[in-house]
A and B are shown apart, each in its own frame.
Chain A
């Protein structure tokens, strides 16, 4: 029975526009904040003093604020307003629960606020895009579940039998993010604001990049594809080019995407077979991604003349094109030989920003220009201003990404350049940094342009809202959904049946999403040959552990990797390449993903303690021209020892072989190791007490990578913490 049958009594109901409006303005607000923080971080790369001498505004503290704000606050709120607007209309039903809608909204905003406060203060797990500490992980799970219930409840109460393709993408997003968030957040709390990942080293890296890659896939991509499939036909006033292609696009994309995570760990200590799987599936991803992109662009068939006039369509066309570019480049970067050059450089950063500035940013802007006049029952305040925004934003993207491609490729090549005598052409890492500073300046100009465009949009949207009259509840009519007499998969086409039933659809999607993750993660965890153990590798001493936690708090891994790849250019520069067995006690792993500064895995013993002291307090005193921010507070603040036993006992529970016997002498070990470093510093005329944070950090840095190399470095106590 069709819902459009005229013999059925129509029901009158109201769409909730209030919740859409709230998420709309939250998107705009957090977008401005997140991008301004990004701009501040970008400028700090050539004006380190812009941190104002404060820890909370230092690059390594605010870079994660920028990424979290633009991903979860800007794009997150963008997803929610788009989903709540389109879902109601596609289901011909009001949202399932007003309470859940508002719980979702306020819960999400409070979590963002908590992130904006706690991350700059150094409360971080160190895992990229998952930096929030454990109490917030629980809060995210609760709010996400509320969103899911609200969405699925609305789908169940719908008055339209067919679930439009946009809804499939929304459901897949919800399912995948649920698994990703839960698995990557399995951690053991030690204090209210500190936890350790239960996974260590290679396994932690695999889980993190399974999460990190699929946060891009299922937070920045699939929900926005759903929005594209709804709002692009609306803006172009014609149906999607091929609905059949959208079905293929959906199933192929969600099955393949989840496998590609290991391409973030090529040439690392991750087992080769997992790296190869990541590469193979990344290349396969081109097909469904481009299927979706072409479906979007071809939706404009016969309407290209409108693109010339209509800024909304301009934004959408560039967004979909940027999606196509980013999804071609992604698989290219997943090819091992390309990755050997691109990884750890600005090339990856440029790639990410084609996606975020182009795809997410421009799609959001286009939809905002479309939706606000409709919510306020008026027309856009100024089309001219919107066109200006488009061109300024577009130029902003170009000025942003082109210098970063240049800088990435330049630096990558410089790292690998040898002289005819077989020596590194640029043995001093700093030479490769000063070379690209003009690119950093140009990048911030691009960012400035992009943010300027954003503020033009905010003014335009504000004036639009002021001129109109907000419609809080929009009345609609539709016939109720009647039970289908051919309600069986055996009598109807399987896919038609799946599309009309949310629960079988959810199960099928869950299976498709889970297969890749399980096949990659389980063997890495349980097959011993995947992480060969090294007898010489011992757990960190308590002082080193304190130092490691300070390293995490200060966000050192934002700019320094701890993973030397097996290339001659890296072993010449840094030392022996990194082995999987060296990281078995690293909760969490700290391999990093970007080398704004050099790799630190073999840092132990490379420089005297005094060099580290001066370098942390004033980096330019040891490396003139360095862009590393100073960390003088480390020489002023004292480290805490009151929770060290709790931390060590927590680590013992998750497999670090600290013995109960050792706990009794842990405090003495801290004192003796710290005294040795402080005494050594005294010989260089550095007067500092042994209880300062910098002492613990030096202890950690001097330990790095020394388990499998001959210890010829400065004096530290390498206590055996397993006895």
Chain B
């Protein structure tokens, strides 16, 4: 039944445009969310790889 339904997909040529639009909207939403992120959260997150070096010392400087 699923194949039957899918085999009659109309307007396949608009798929690309639709999903491009969807991506554009989602991308804008992510930009807005990222823009509004708390600077303290960002500051803390970006230092995570350096924490073991900073907290526990690193023998290799």
Contacts and interface: CB of A to CB of B under 8 A. Distances in A.
B16 A527 contact: no
A374 B60 contact: yes
Contacts of B42: 243-244
Interface string B21-61: 01100110011011111100110111111111100100110
B12 A273 contact: yes
Interface stretch (A321-329, A346-354, A492-500): A492-500
B6 interface: yes
A620 interface: no
Nearest to A242: B46
Contacts of A244: 34-35, 37, 42
Interface stretch (A190-198, A232-240, A358-366): A232-240
Interface in A277-300: 277, 280
Contacts of A494: 33
Contacts of A229: 49
B30 A243 contact: no
A155 B54 CA distance: 22
Contact of A233 (B22, B26, B50, B60): B50
Given A248-B30, A495-B30, A237 B45 contact: no
Contacts of A243: 42, 45-46
What is the predominant secondary structure among interface residues of chain A facing chain B?
helix
Contact of B48 (A90, A373, A374): A90
A515 B19 contact: yes
B35 to A, nearest CB: 8
A476 interface: yes
B3 to A, nearest CB: 6
Interface string A96-107: 000000000000
A250 B56 CA distance: 30
B16 A233 contact: no
B56 A476 contact: yes
A543 interface: no
Contacts of A670: none
A379 interface: yes
Contact of B27 (A90, A164, A252): A252
Size class of the A contact interface (CB-based, 8 Å): 35 or more
Nearest to B52: A89
A578 to B, nearest CB: 22
Contact of A164 (B23, B45, B53): B45
A379 B58 CA distance: 12
Nearest to B61: A237
A166 interface: yes
Given A164-B45, A493-B37, A256 B50 contact: no
B46 A526 contact: no
B1 interface: no
A59 interface: no
Given A244-B34, A526-B6, A164 B48 contact: yes
B9 A493 contact: no
Contacts of A237: 50, 53
Q: Which of B6, B22, B23 has the most CB of A within 10 A?
A: B23
A294 to B, nearest CB: 16
Contact of A522 (B6, B13, B19, B49): B6
B46 A255 contact: no
B15 A239 contact: no
Q: Which of B13, B48, B50, B60 has the most CB of A within 10 A?
A: B48
Contacts of A233: 46, 49-50
Interface in A379-412: 379
A519 interface: yes
A527 B56 CA distance: 60
Contacts of A165: 45
B16 A86 contact: no
A522 B8 CA distance: 12
A496 B16 contact: no
Given A373-B60, A526-B9, A495 B34 contact: yes
Contact of B9 (A89, A239, A255, A527): A527
Contacts of B13: 273
B16 A280 contact: yes
A59 B32 CA distance: 53
Contacts of A164: 45, 48-49
Given A86-B49, A519-B19, A526 B3 contact: yes
A496 B38 CA distance: 9
B45 A234 contact: no
B27 to A, nearest CB: 6
Interface string A251-279: 11001100000000000000001001100
A244 B42 CA distance: 8
Contact of B16 (A166, A276, A526, A528): A276
Contact of A234 (B9, B35, B50): B50
Interface string A134-165: 00000000000000000000000000101011
Contact of B45 (A162, A231, A519, A522): A162
Nearest to A91: B48
Given A230-B49, A273-B16, A527 B30 contact: no
Q: Which of B16, B22, B36 has the most CB of A within 10 A?
A: B16
B1 to A, nearest CB: 12
Contacts of A255: 23, 26-27
A606 interface: no
A373 B51 CA distance: 19
Contacts of A340: none
Nearest to A379: B60
A261 B49 CA distance: 33
Contacts of B37: 244, 493, 495-496
Contacts of A526: 3, 6-7, 9
A523 interface: yes
A377 interface: yes
Given A495-B33, A519-B15, A523-B9, 19 more contacts: A89-B52, A90-B48, A90-B49, A164-B45, A239-B46, A239-B47, A239-B50, A240-B46, A247-B34, A248-B27, A252-B30, A255-B26, A255-B27, A273-B12, A277-B15, A374-B59, A476-B52, A493-B33, A526-B3
21 contacts: A89-B49, A89-B52, A162-B41, A164-B49, A240-B46, A240-B49, A244-B37, A244-B42, A273-B13, A273-B16, A280-B16, A280-B20, A374-B60, A476-B56, A493-B33, A519-B16, A522-B9, A526-B3, A526-B7, A527-B7, A527-B9
Interface of B: 3, 6-7, 9, 12-13, 15-16, 19-20, 22-23, 26-27, 30-31, 33-38, 41-42, 44-53, 56, 59-60
List the 7 shortest-distance A-B pairs measured between CB atoms, nearest first: A239-B46, A243-B46, A526-B6, A164-B48, A526-B7, A277-B16, A244-B34
